Structure 1
Amino acid sequence: MNLPGGAEPYDRAMVTKPVLLDVPVPAQIDASGSREVKISSPDRVLWPDDGITKLELAQYVAAVGDRFLAAVGDRPVTLQRFPEGIAGEEFYSKNPPRGVPAYARSVTVTYPSGRRHPQLVIDEIATAVWAVQMNTITFHPWPVRTANLDNPDELRIDLDPQPGRAFADVVEAAHALREVMTEAGLHPYVKTSGNRGVHVFARIEPDHEFLDVRHGVIAIARELERRLPDLVTTAWWKEQRGERIFVDFNQACRDRTLASAYSPRPLPGAPVSMPVTWEQLGDISPGDFTVRTVPDLVADTPDPWAEMATPGQVGPLQPALEWWDRDVADGLGELNFPPDYPKMPGEPRRVQPSRAKH
């Protein structure tokens, strides 16, 4: 693998001081230069079982830069940080970390509680490499653009397999979900989650706020559940899910995010959340895509999400909202919100079913 900035493959015995990576500056900012990003403690091991260091992670992010930037660019981003590697303490950084470079941007976002504060925006890959310097492993972009922070332009669905289900089961559910979303006028794209599940994305017109998008996701999830009741569930409480695949509708809530495309995950093997084509989905294993394998795959294969942002791939939310209205008329109403949310109108009791019986 060719490493950015002319760096040689990592040799731990050689790296004892901070390393400077040269990261190209996007043409729309400055077509003539690059930025130097200092990586301190470059030999810090982030994935202990695999020996992957902070320097190697920074080089990975630079190597997949253009595709990664297409996924996270112009969006508020939450950083999942691991100061001592994946075996140590982790925390989610919503405010930009101290020492943010002058070329980085932030926007002020509003949270469910009504609290507001700045959040980092990644306009160029040097900002992402700097975030790695701050021990970021996973990047969690919001489904909004900075020009309109209240109306999502992406509909995202997380298929989360419960214990007892294999990846092949998730693939079956994902293809059925593709059919449902297509019937709703959407154009779905798929990626591995970096763990056991998959994420399905579709671009939408940014003319509805978060609650509407959540209702559209619930309506799509319920339609999928009707078609595959033994495989898929919308049950919020784990005790009701059994071995089915949970459609996590609450990932559509404000301040809820999924790992970005091409983002590493804090799991053994250093897996990456990897976009694939629908045709590839049944032939791959999530373990195929890691910090060490993905750069060469990106260099050698076309981008499966290349058309995602084109105007013809942006779909309407309205058909899914019509399904929501139909279900409400049939007696299917609101579902539970995340526990840190204020009690929402129409929400069921926040009590586990087994406890409610008593």
Structure 2
Amino acid sequence: MITSSISLLDFLLETREHTETICKPLQIEDYVVQPIEDVSPPKWHLGHTTWFFEDFILKKHKTDYQVYDDHFAFVFNSYYESMGARVVRTDRGNLSRPTVDQVYSYRKHVTNALKELLEENPSEEVESLIEIGIHHEKQHQELLLTDIKYILGNNPLLPTYSSDFREFQLNPKPAEWLSIDEGIYTIGHTGSDFCYDNELGLHKVYLNSFEISSRLVTNAEYLQFIEDSGYEQTLLWHSEGWSWVTENNIIAPLYWHKQNDGWEYYGLNGLQKLNLEAPVTHISYYEAFAYAQWKGMRLPTEFEWEVAQSQFNWGERWEWTESAYLPYPNYTKAPGALGEYNGKFMVSQKTLRGGSVATSKNHTRPTYRNFFHPQLRWQFTGLRLAR
């Protein structure tokens, strides 16, 4: 918990400003596009992160607060059933109104009200809620980048978002196998500083001895899988994964484009020749699993990853694990609407660990648990082998 209202205010203002900075390279037409259900328009992200502060904090804890627009709660609520009716997720791209200017005005209105609230010596409960709101917005900063990439990457012109954006740091060192002894290990967050409720519940796990790779799988290594007809070998895939491959004609990671002289890759810095030394990215859990099968290896569990993470560099790609996204022992949902934040998604999803180049600064921890459905790959997802 941030103990100083002043430092919390600085944290808030920095976060709100950075969200808007992410959107600066966009043209006005980019703000409303929604190519698929999982991708939300940038304008919606700007409004939703503002609505979170307004509905969860300002309406309840600032007595003189004037709601900006009574209709915005309906427009910008995401999945909080207990907070009232909302626009269906698939219809977020139909929102030509409110305008982009109105959304930025809404953000300014709410930010100014939060500044006033923090200057009124708020309670620890209010400070805690604001801190949650800040980290919630940081999550949406990453979603903004990945959603913008999907929007532009599915535009026939493949426009560049920013020529300065770096999607990877080259690591030419060969992979090494790191050995972890069998034993009983402690998993989870102590709760001594900020974390999400899905990280709480310190508990013991028993691990058999295993080895884990010191680095992520590269494009060159994954290309060998493709050239060995990995996408055509049904025995490498889960049944659901094989159906996904065949029904969607998947032949390579997302954003790979086959040209006569090789592969190209669309990144936020535009279409480039595929860099073979870069870590493979934008793969589904199904693809990560099939590749590991092809190598005669496997994915680490999230517990193995957490125990071993201090021995390797991480943070460039969200790393698929073999673990289902489930509650830790003694997990309890937060009371009220905040209880919808994590707990209700603990079914039919896989856990990812690490972070990515799109993750906001200082937003991840060794205990951080991300989660997505196994077919999704628009995030910066990659894999690390274990055996």
Instruction: Say which structure is richer in helix.
Output: 2
Instruction: Say which structure is richer in strand.
Output: 1
**What band does the TM-score fall into relative to the shorter chain?**
under 0.3
Q: Structure 1 length as normaliser, TM-score? A: 0.23
